[in-house]
Amino acid sequence: MSEIQSFKRVLMGPGPSDVDTRVLDAMGRPTIGHLDPTFLDMLNEIKSLLQYTFQTKNELTFAVSGTGSAGMETCVVNLIEPGDSMLVCVNGVFGERMADVASRCGANVQRLDIEWGTAFDPQQIKDALKEHPAKVVGVVHAETSTGVGQPLEELSQIIHDAGALLLVDTVTSLGGMKVDVDGWQIDACYSGTQKCLSCPPGLAPVTFSPAAVDIINHRKTKVQSWYLDTTMIKKYWESARLYHHTAPINLNYALLESLKIVKQEGLEPRWARHLKNHKILKAGLSALGIQYVSQKGYELPMLNAVAILQGVDDVTVRKQLLNQFRIEIGSGLGKFKGKAWRIGLMGSSCSISNVLLFLSALEACLVEQNKTFEKGISIAAAIKEMNRN
């Protein structure tokens, strides 16, 4: 395999998604200093475009110099002090992860576990908070391991009525479906760059509400992580421009360019594009008898978690997709390992062309797995759905 061929991929997994050449070109510009006036201007632009993307006026909005999981850890370690109570809503791998992160920083963690693939009923959160009042409630907006989207508006009301802060994981949702930080009164929120923003991985956009900042400013103990301490990092992102650590310069070039693309498309058209392509994919998969593992009505547009058909070999199909068609999809994660596929339609990867290509390729793979179906049936269903709107 030549080196050039080996980089040719259609990224339809749980992230990273395909990166636009505009973003790759921006990233390849010469590196300049982290205190260079030109770079500091770029940080201002990034902040402003992140505020737009998060739909917030929060002053403390920036990109953590690490991946989405570093964003999660940033939110948790800044809000939590040893002994603080935190309720973590767990219905997949990323809820599990948040509970782990919280316990490592000394939180008194209460887990609210429900079946993987389902969404939380607001009443469940209300009951849990009555039994165990919490300082912070952690919720995953788009659970990448199960493909479930969690509605947040009603939850937010309940959580704030109980006097808690709402911490939300929007790693997979940001830029692909509605995320309204101010409208939903989210207090702390983190994301990743390599999902619906279609920027290479390595940065984690975060935002903190004034209430969250107030809590952080009145901590009795230092934030346990020096690297992720927002009380210091903000002095670099704000006008003081105090050196904290050397920002990943070129990744920030890439993030700026990808956020410009988001702004140019507009949030609502972008969300609509993700939803439309999801429906088309779903129609095609359905024609093949493939079902979602996510609760009906809560399926994420950008992350389609589906049950692997009986008699079909997980690894063989994913290898054929990758080697013959250059398409990457994701395996099942955690409890869904070997049982589900995760088909991503994120950012630049979310196109009608990719949906049709994927369905055609999948049909070819299923034939090899001795599955019988009318050839082209998924494409026919997809085209029908495509023309419905």
Q: Exposed (0-12), middle (13-18) or buried (19+): which is 68, by Cβ within 10 Å?
A: buried
Q: Of 67-96, which residues contact a copy of itself (CB under 8 A)?
A: 67-70, 72-73
Our finding on whether 338 is near a copy of itself (CB under 8 A) is no
Select the residue interacting with a copy of itself from 16, 95, 205, 347 (CB under 8 A).
Answer: 16
Q: How far is CA 172 from CA 2, 35, 113, 289, 368, in A?
A: 32, 31, 21, 26, 32
Nearest-10 crossing angle of helices 377-386, 352-368: 160
Nearest-10 crossing angle of helices 267-287, 249-265: 80
| Smallest distance, a copy of itself to C-beta of residue 336, A | 13
Select the residue interacting with a copy of itself from 11, 174, 290, 308 (CB under 8 A).
Answer: 11
Q: Exposed (0-12), middle (13-18) or buried (19+): which is 222, by Cβ within 10 Å?
A: exposed
Our finding on whether 150 is near a copy of itself (CB under 8 A) is no
Comparing CA positions, the residue from 92, 56, 22 lying closest to residue 260 is 22
Select the residue interacting with a copy of itself from 49, 88, 101, 216 (CB under 8 A).
Answer: 101
Q: By C-beta, is 82 or 183 nearer to a copy of itself? A: 82
Select the residue interacting with a copy of itself from 211, 272, 307, 322 (CB under 8 A).
Answer: 322
* Contact of 324 with 317, CB cutoff 8 Å: no
| Smallest distance, a copy of itself to C-beta of residue 387, A | 32
Task: Return the range that interacts with a copy of itself (CB under 8 A); candidates 175-183, 196-204, 289-297, 368-376.
Answer: 196-204
Comparing CA positions, the residue from 66, 59, 27 lying closest to residue 44 is 59
| Smallest distance, a copy of itself to C-beta of residue 222, A | 6
Structure tokens at 222: 């230092």
Give the footprint of a copy of itself on this chain (CB under 8 A): 1, 6-9, 11, 13, 15-16, 18-19, 24-25, 27-34, 36, 38, 65-70, 72-73, 97, 100-101, 103-105, 192, 194, 200-202, 222-227, 243-251, 254, 322, 328, 333
